[in-house]
Structure 1
Amino acid sequence: MPPIDAEPQAEAQAASHACTASHDPHDPRPLGVIVLGRGSSGAAAREQLQALAESLRALLPEARIVIAFADRASPSLPEALTQCLPCRQIIVQPLFLPGENALLRWLEKVAQRWRHQQASGAEALAALPPIVFAPGIWQQAALPELLARQIAQAQALPDVTQTTPERWQHDPAAWSTIPPHQRHALLCLGPRCTALGAAALWPQLTERLRACGKLQRGVMALQTSCQYPCNHGPLMIVYPDGIWYGRLNEDAIAHIVDEHLQHGRPLAQYRIHRTGQEPDGDA
């Protein structure tokens, strides 16, 4: 039988010790709570999650409550975990519907990776707070009763003819017009790229394109869900050139906009693949 690796065993014991220590009634550190939702391109998701967090702060005044997004917005889960420090324990409360078991399993891995990025060695890991994922909102037994009350109250609300604009049948002319762009810049804002910092790159991409006059007129910048080679994230694909860029940061976005999207010169230092070519062995 091969020898047991002592370091992982020590780290597991350290994590177990941290979980036990978190229940110390004399621990003065606050409880950390992360309200976890799904992001969107508009402001509504953030505003709604922030409003809910404010209400929770009134109910749990001694807790440190922050918001996070699984995708498409920031702060990401790793950023929110850092915001909770120092605390005695971190509770992650998923709020999205429907629940995705694969996504939740992956988010638990994100939390584990965050722990190991914060500290190395059993002693340092033991000093970090334990992280617990609470049951999702879809698993709450009281949810059907709450929805039934909402449905009963909704029966007294006005018909849509009284709540929609008078010109509801008219759409903006731009919705029927193909923008005069030469390229698509497809930035991945799926869960894995979001955890790697992609959400913070989106406003930088659009603002830099706008500053050089390329937004819409020359480049259509679009958000996508998962592009799949997640370990190379954050990812962006530029079409019709077929250039896949990976491991992006703010400097990379600035260079790609200035060189590739503005002047048509792809940058080899950020490229991980080109459509039509065989992927590299280490790509």
Structure 2
Amino acid sequence: MRVVVGMSVTDVDRRQELLGWAGELEASLAFLQMGGPSLSAELTRLADAGAATITLAGVSLGPLAPGHSWLRRIAAHWWRERAGDRPTIEVATALATTRDELSVVLAETRPITGTEPGLTSPAWEHVSGHVRQVLICRGPRCTAKGSEETARAVILGAMEAGLGDDDLLITHTGCQFPCNQAPVLSVQPDDVWYGHVEAAAARVIVRDHLDGGRPVEAYRLPR
């Protein structure tokens, strides 16, 4: 059995497209984050159905996707926790970013051994020391209005401005409301909400607010 695994929030937004990719390979589809079925749920379904070998291929189409190692981490955690018979799990050694790459990465796999790193680390014990958290809405309306490009502009703008983990924590969220103002993003702890944040507006917000400390009134929503 094969499973195509969407790694990023963008992959969840492109569910129908990825279902087509998976169908061409006679594979099922699962997601690592913010989408269902989760990878763990799909592994359980296939194992309960008697699958002896499951091959995973990760797909990464958007910003803020976790690295390839997380596909192995999550699969290994499930394998260690699985009660009773456990299938062999093979994981492609690279992520695919296009449909054509998906067939290529499936040609080279490596089995889960159970010795992979777990889901905890001393580095993840405490809240990060960021000054501001940027919450980018990825609900259905904001996604339809282009919040994928909003997120990309925020990330690239922050990188160009030299803003690091001590400055910003950039987070995708579900619906934040007010949906009529999509795409929406908010900045905390400043308690500032922005609406109609297309890519060009996002770069202004990064420059003037996230880097300069001055809220951008042109896109600011009343509270």
Q: Shorter-chain TM-score category?
A: 0.5 to 0.7
For the pair 1:251 / 2:200, whether they are aligned, the reply is: yes
The letter for the 2-side match of 1:188 is: C
Change (3 A) 1:218 1:195: same
- Aligned counterparts of 1:165 and 1:47: Cα–Cα separation in 2: 31
Q: SS of the residue aligned with 2:51? A: helix
Equivalent residue, structure 2, for 1:166? 115
For the pair 1:207 / 2:174, whether they are aligned, the reply is: no
For the pair 1:229 / 2:178, whether they are aligned, the reply is: yes
Shift in Å, 1:51: 5.9
Shift in Å, 1:264: 0.5
Change (3 A) 1:236 1:173: same
Q: SS of the residue aligned with 2:208? A: helix
Shift in Å, 1:233: 0.8
The equivalences for 1:56-71 within 5 A come to none
Equivalent residue, structure 2, for 1:14? none
The letter for the 2-side match of 1:199 is: E
TM-score (norm 2): 0.55
Please tell me whether the aligned partners of residues 136 and 185 of structure 2 are also in contact (alpha carbons under 8 angstroms): yes
Please tell me whether the aligned partners of residues 149 and 198 of structure 2 are also in contact (alpha carbons under 8 angstroms): no
Q: Where does structure 1 lack aligned partners over 5 or more consecutive residues?
A: 1-38, 60-71, 73-94, 99-146, 275-283
From the two aligned structures, give the one with the greater helix fraction.
1
- Aligned counterparts of 2:47 and 2:168: Cα–Cα separation in 1: 48
Shift in Å, 1:273: 2.3
Larger radius of gyration: 1
For the pair 1:41 / 2:41, whether they are aligned, the reply is: no
The letter for the 2-side match of 1:198 is: S
Match of 2:20 among 36, 49, 53: 53
Question: Equivalent pairs: percent with the same residue?
Answer: 28
The equivalences for 1:145-224 within 5 A come to 151-154=49-52, 157-158=87-88, 163-166=112-115, 168-169=117-118, 171-224=120-173
The letter for the 2-side match of 1:257 is: V
TM-score (norm 1): 0.45
Question: Alpha carbon RMSD of aligned pairs, Å?
Answer: 3.8
- Aligned counterparts of 2:222 and 2:174: Cα–Cα separation in 1: 18
The letter for the 2-side match of 1:186 is: L
The equivalences for 1:105-144 within 5 A come to none
Change (3 A) 1:238 1:150: same
